[in-house]
């Protein structure tokens, strides 16, 4: 950008003042009086950003001149490097670029030098300059845009606002680097206290993400390679394309009890009378989510239990764990509860149970008929009332009496209805469905990662997943303060011993 012409002056912000006056004269001129509001917005967007960039540049130049005056005067205290050796010589005029949200600026500072030693710049510590060119504000903007969708979309959004200050590959690297402190951040967080009457709910689920071939797990990659050798035009029924890597998602939340009756969940055959309105279900409060493509499911489940234990370290509250029925999840949850010595109430997602019961209903009655609806409503109401075993026995006996075919009998036998204590859950006001974690799967994975045609690399997808969870938990602002402080400590571990950053 061509600098503004100024008269000789000692005002360090003369260029900024000149830029503002130029803009003011433009807006008060005859030409601007004929512009539409859209034209005004367009011109102010460009000129206003340049004015802010010039203000930042002038401030940095002012700090550089003050530092040089201090060096020429008293010289200041001796400066030592990270290895503890003194830098006896001082040299002005050392500069580096900084890409900010307003555009490129040049940072000039004094270099403290020694024979055979790397330069040290005390001003880098005072400004907390990053190791690379891109400012922390630009990095946060990259994160904010990246968690909304693809890296292409994020790059376009950053470019629209800041012009060409960041490439797509560098944007992805910045997003990956921005997620390095997520685990440490949550280890330092103290959850909001809660009364022992409120149940503590843990939900676990999985969701696949379409990955690049090199980012797939080894078994999936081999299956994809084997399938590719067939040169077929399309997949066979039930065959998977082997393009996805499973992410494990878990959420923990407090639950204000909301007791209900079976008919509050399943309406009776023929519909509700309206005399007794359905009671509302429980609502999740203080929800916390985590997800990972890299860490194994047992680690994600352990992280969720760590969060639960931080909320209830003495195990005084009832713990409710909801799953979708996957056997490996149940085994991992059992192992984790045994390891911690905590008693939990494990519930199978009622929506999954309802799907099995409806499949059985269609084995006895034609789909879409009132008979099928009444049959399903009666059996689901009995299950919610605590009669799951009796309902399963009645369904099997009816299938035997009607001599169902093997294919239709399979839908009945698939209803595993043992150990479903929904009557206890409803009376206690607990949730009986995994809506919270399924919503987290959609919000954390489907919305940002499941774009048509997208193929993700493992580091980028994992970073977006973790940062999306940070945003979903409402922790972006405190996390960014924590990450900025940790980044400063990594670059400048000792305020007296300055590290080389440029």
For residues 298-305, give the mean pLDDT: 96
* pLDDT the model gives residue 239: 60
Lowest mean pLDDT among 296-305, 449-458, 460-469: 449-458
Residue 32 has pLDDT above 70, yes or no: yes
Lowest mean pLDDT among 55-59, 109-113, 390-394, 468-472: 390-394
Instruction: Burial-class residue 207 by CB neighbours within 10 Å (0-12, 13-18, 19+).
Output: buried
Instruction: Burial-class residue 330 by CB neighbours within 10 Å (0-12, 13-18, 19+).
Output: middle
Residue 367: CB atoms within 10 Å: 10
* pLDDT the model gives residue 3: 54
Which two structure tokens, joined as six digits, stand for 221? 């990659």
Residue ranges covered by each domain of the chain:
195-229+239-441
Each residue's pLDDT tens digit, 125-139: 999 999 999 999 999
Each residue's pLDDT tens digit, 56-77: 999 999 999 999 998 887 767 7
Share of the chain above pLDDT 70, in %: 92
| Cα–Cα–Cα angle for 69, 71, 76, rounded to 5 degrees | 125
CB 245 within 8 A of CB 217: yes
What one-character-per-residue DSSP string does 389-455 give? Answer: HHHHHHHHHHHHHTT--HHHHHHHHT---TT--HHHHHHHT---S-HHHHHHHIIIIIHHH--TT--
């Amino acid at each position: 950008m061509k600098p503004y012409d100024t008269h000789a002056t000692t005002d360090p912000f003369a260029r900024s003042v000149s830029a503002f006056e130029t803009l003011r004269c433009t807006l008060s001129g005859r030409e601007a009086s004929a512009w539409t509001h859209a034209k005004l917005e367009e011109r102010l967007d460009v000129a206003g950003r340049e004015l802010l960039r010039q203000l930042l540049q002038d401030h940095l130049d002012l700090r550089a001149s003050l530092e040089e005056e201090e060096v020429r005067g008293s010289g200041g205290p001796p400066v030592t490097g990270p290895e503890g050796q003194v830098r006896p010589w001082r040299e002005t005029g050392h500069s580096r670029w900084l890409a900010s949200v307003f555009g490129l600026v040049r940072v000039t500072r004094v270099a403290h030098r020694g024979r055979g030693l790397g330069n040290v710049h005390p001003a880098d510590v005072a400004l907390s300059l990053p190791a690379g060119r891109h400012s922390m504000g630009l990095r946060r903007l990259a994160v904010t845009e990246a968690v909304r969708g693809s890296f292409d979309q994020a790059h376009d959004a950053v470019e629209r606002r800041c012009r060409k200050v960041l490439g797509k590959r560098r944007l992805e690297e910045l997003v990956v680097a921005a997620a390095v402190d997520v685990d440490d951040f949550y280890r330092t967080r103290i959850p909001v206290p809660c009364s022992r009457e409120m149940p503590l709910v843990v939900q676990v689920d999985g969701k696949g993400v379409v990955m690049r071939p090199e980012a797939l797990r080894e078994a999936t990659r081999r299956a994809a390679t084997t399938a590719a050798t067939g040169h077929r035009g399309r997949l066979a029924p039930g065959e998977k394309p082997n393009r996805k890597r499973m992410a494990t998602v878990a959420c923990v939340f407090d639950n204000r009890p909301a007791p209900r009756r079976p008919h509050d969940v399943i309406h009776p055959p023929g519909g509700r009378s309206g005399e007794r309105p359905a009671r509302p279900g429980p609502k999740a409060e203080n929800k916390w989510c985590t997800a990972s493509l890299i860490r194994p499911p047992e680690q994600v489940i352990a992280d969720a239990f760590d969060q639960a234990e931080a909320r209830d370290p003495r195990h005084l509250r009832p713990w409710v764990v909801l799953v979708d029925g996957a056997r490996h999840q149940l085994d991992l949850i059992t192992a984790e509860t045994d390891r911690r010595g905590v008693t939990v109430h494990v519930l199978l997602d009622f929506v999954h149970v309802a799907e099995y019961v409806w499949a059985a209903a269609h084995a006895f009655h034609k789909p879409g008929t009132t008979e099928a609806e009444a049959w399903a409503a009666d059996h689901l109401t009995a299950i919610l009332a605590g009669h799951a075993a009796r309902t399963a026995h009645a369904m099997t006996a009816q299938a035997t009496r009607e001599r169902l075919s093997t294919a239709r009998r399979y839908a009945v036998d698939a209803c595993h209805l043992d150990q479903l204590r929904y009557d206890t859950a409803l009376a206690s006001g607990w949730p009986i469905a995994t809506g919270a974690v399924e919503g987290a799967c959609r919000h954390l994975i489907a919305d940002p990662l499941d774009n048509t045609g997208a193929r993700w690399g493992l580091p980028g997808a994992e970073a977006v997943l973790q940062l999306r969870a940070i945003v979903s938990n409402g922790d972006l602002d405190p996390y960014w303060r924590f990450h900025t402080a940790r980044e400063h400590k990594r670059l400048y571990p000792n305020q007296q011993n300055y590290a080389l950053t440029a």
